[in-house]
């Protein structure tokens, strides 16, 4: 059995979100009578932590503790419009929409508090702990709860806001086709080390070192969780996932995820993840999209490592034993 | 078709149900007892998300016949937290951010609990082996492995019988 080692590197420049006919997301924020806040969006949390991130963003913008915010990801039939959770767009698009909605709601909240305290809204600030007070005079304060109660029962006001974030459609230039499909880009670089068995064509990923530049990490532990899972998913895309790993006939192929091979807990390489933060000027508190792009850099890095190990270029995913053996045979011929 | 009467224990409580011959333990749990913690994934024994304990051993409930569980002691994730206290495994999953969508989590927890019953101080290799029948598409497994290892530590520090 001959196993050969190789190392490969790849870097990606990944647009946050996409741009087909414009890329919008909308959000609504409103307060309950006791001064808790509800964010309504149609963006979906599929485990990546969208609810937590939107909760933090809303709380930060309103100036209230995040425990006071509830996020309802509702239903795309009834909620504010969102293009969806894909293309690493969730945090950026929905986050910006939530900021806009929370700003408007904060404006109303401060107007009500200003009336209660008999001062101008310009003189008010929030303490982040559930109170609104006069700048420089923390004793002259009213709680967010009392403000909301007053809005509901005395002033007849709705502490609420509407938020909209749209990346408008970008048309390609008729001259050279250039366009601006995204407003910010995340970056990733991976160094992969692999072992290729030249008799069986099997590839083992030995180690994966990843550096990700994702804007500001709005929730560092959740970012790390995404990146660790995503780097692994990159390996899965690179050498496992296909509905027809070995069969030339379509009717022999797998028909669902059961036949769709993925690495298990015994197939883990040594993985390192390093996060670089360069806040995006148009991102919500500087955040870009870490979601999808973190799986991308490992794939070409593994392809390059295979080339380094055995001298064959596999240019279609996944890099199955069959493709590698055929390519090796091609080298001999 | 005649129904088969079944007596069994579910998370410490006695249960009596009638099941169809050939019905799976997963269907018994989800349809008859209302315990939805065992997930319905591949339904052919390949993903592990339906894992429950039957008499202390991990079983894929989607390919276990309900009628074979007469008199058995069945445990699901619903029985993990005792007296309102999360099980150390559940704590560890939180601490280590070891769940994203959470669909694999019940099966992972039960596979880990089964491991602890036979091997309270597992090595990393033991944990990997115990979880090798459980698929996760989100986490990349490492956080789950770390969570199980740390729960094992917490539990062996708090003495035998903690499982
Ligand atoms: S549902 Fe039982 S193993 Fe997948
Ligand atoms: S957390 Fe989603 S499958 Fe494991």
In angstroms, rounded to a whole number, what is the distance separating the alpha carbons of residues B163 and B158? 10
Mean of pLDDT values over B126-136? 96
Q: For chain B, give every domain's residue range.
A: 3-79, 88-158
3-class state of residue A34 by DSSP = coil
* Fold match, B3-79 / B88-158: no
Burial of A181 (0-12, 13-18, 19+ CB in 10 A): middle
pLDDT above 70 covers a percentage of chain A that reads 97
Architecture of the domain delimited by B3-79: Roll (3.10)
Tokens of A253: 């192929």
In angstroms, rounded to a whole number, what is the distance separating the alpha carbons of residues A14 and A88? 9
ipTM associated with this complex? 0.89
| Residue A28 confidence (pLDDT) above 60 | yes
Q: Which ligand is nearest to the CA of B45?
A: 1
Q: Is B81 on the interface with A (CB under 8 A)?
A: no
Q: Identify the residue among B140, B141, B145 best suited for mutation to test binding to A, counting A beta carbons within 10 A and taking the highest.
A: B140
Contact state of A265 with B139 under an 8 Å Cβ cutoff: no
pLDDT band at A21 (very low <50, low <70, confident <90, very high): confident
pLDDT tens track for A32-75: 999 999 999 999 998 889 999 999 999 999 999 999 999 998 78
Chain B positions in Cβ-Cβ contact with residue A262 (cut-off 8 Å): 135, 137
Determine the pLDDT at residue B147: 98
The set of residues, in sequence order, having a beta carbon less than 8 Å from that of A247 and lying 6+ positions away, is A253
User: How far does the CA of residue A49 sit from the closest CA of chain B (Å)?
Assistant: 7
Can you tell me which atom of ligand 1 is nearest the CA of B51?
2
In angstroms, rounded to a whole number, what is the distance separating the alpha carbons of residues B40 and B27? 9
Q: Which ligand is nearest to the CA of B96?
A: 2
Q: Is A318 on the interface with B (CB under 8 A)?
A: no
Fold of B88-158: DNA polymerase; domain 1 (1.10.150)
Task: Delineate the domains of chain A, giving CATH numbers in brackets.
Answer: 3-16+183-332 (3.30.365.10), 25-165 (3.30.365.10)
Chain A positions in Cβ-Cβ contact with residue B102 (cut-off 8 Å): 47
pLDDT tens track for B71-101: 999 999 999 998 889 999 999 999 999 999 9
| Residue B3 confidence (pLDDT) above 90 | yes
pLDDT band at A25 (very low <50, low <70, confident <90, very high): very high
Determine the pLDDT at residue A129: 96
Contact state of A232 with B47 under an 8 Å Cβ cutoff: no
Nearest to A80, CA basis, from A17, A143, A24, A124:
A24
Residues in contact with ligand 1 (CB, 6 Å cut-off): B 40-43, 45-50, 60, 62
Task: Measure Cα distances from B46 to A211, A254, A257, B6, B43 in Å.
Answer: 34, 14, 10, 27, 8
Give the residue from chain B lying closest to A223, CA to CA. Answer: B97
pLDDT tens track for A145-188: 999 999 999 999 999 999 999 999 888 899 999 888 788 999 99
Asked whether A287 and A92 are in contact (CB, 8 A), the reply is yes
């Amino acid at each position: 059995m001959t196993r050969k080692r190789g190392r490969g590197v790849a870097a990606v420049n990944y647009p946050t979100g996409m741009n087909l006919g414009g890329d919008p997301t909308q959000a609504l924020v409103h307060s309950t009578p006791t001064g808790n806040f509800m964010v309504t969006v149609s963006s979906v949390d599929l485990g990546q932590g969208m609810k937590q991130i939107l909760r933090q963003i809303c709380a930060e913008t309103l100036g209230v503790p995040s425990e006071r915010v509830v996020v309802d990801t509702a239903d795309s039939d009834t909620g504010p419009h969102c293009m969806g959770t894909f293309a690493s767009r969730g945090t950026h698009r929905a986050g910006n929409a939530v900021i806009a909605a929370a700003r408007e709601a904060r404006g109303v909240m401060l107007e009500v508090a200003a009336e209660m305290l008999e001062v101008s809204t310009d003189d008010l600030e929030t303490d982040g702990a559930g109170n609104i007070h006069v700048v420089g005079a923390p004793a002259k304060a009213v709680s967010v709860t009392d403000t909301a109660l007053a809005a509901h029962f005395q002033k007849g006001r709705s502490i609420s806001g509407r938020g909209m974030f749209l990346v408008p459609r970008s048309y390609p230039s008729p001259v050279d086709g250039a366009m601006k499909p995204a407003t910010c880009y995340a970056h990733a670089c991976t160094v992969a080390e692999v072992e290729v068995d030249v008799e069986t064509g099997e590839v083992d990923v030995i180690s994966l070192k990843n550096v990700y530049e994702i804007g500001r990490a709005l929730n560092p532990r959740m970012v790390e969780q995404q990146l660790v899972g995503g780097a692994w998913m990159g390996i899965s895309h690179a050498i496992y996932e296909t509905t027809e790993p070995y069969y030339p006939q379509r009717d022999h192929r797998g028909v669902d995820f059961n036949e769709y091979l993925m690495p298990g807990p015994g197939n883990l390489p040594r993985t390192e993840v390093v996060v670089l933060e360069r806040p995006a000027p148009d991102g919500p508190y500087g955040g870009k999209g870490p979601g999808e792009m973190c799986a991308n850099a490992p794939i070409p890095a593994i392809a390059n490592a295979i080339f380094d190990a055995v001298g064959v270029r596999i240019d279609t995913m996944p890099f199955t034993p069959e493709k590698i053996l055929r390519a090796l045979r091609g080298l001999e011929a | 078709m005649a129904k088969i009467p079944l007596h069994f224990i579910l998370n410490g409580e006695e249960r009596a149900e009638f099941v169809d011959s050939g019905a799976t333990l997963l269907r018994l749990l989800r349809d008859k007892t209302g315990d939805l913690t065992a997930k319905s994934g591949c339904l052919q024994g390949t993903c592990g998300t339906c894992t429950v304990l039957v008499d202390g051993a991990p079983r894929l409930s989607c390919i276990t016949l309900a009628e074979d569980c007469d008199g058995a002691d069945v445990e699901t994730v619903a029985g993990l937290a005792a007296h309102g206290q999360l099980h150390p495994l559940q704590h560890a999953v939180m601490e280590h951010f070891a769940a994203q969508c959470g669909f694999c989590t019940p099966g992972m927890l039960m596979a880990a609990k089964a491991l602890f019953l036979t091997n309270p101080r597992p090595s990393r290799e033991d944990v990997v082996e115990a979880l090798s029948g459980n698929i996760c598409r989100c986490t990349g497994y490492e956080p789950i492995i770390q969570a199980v290892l740390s729960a094992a530590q917490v539990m062996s520090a708090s003495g035998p019988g903690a499982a």
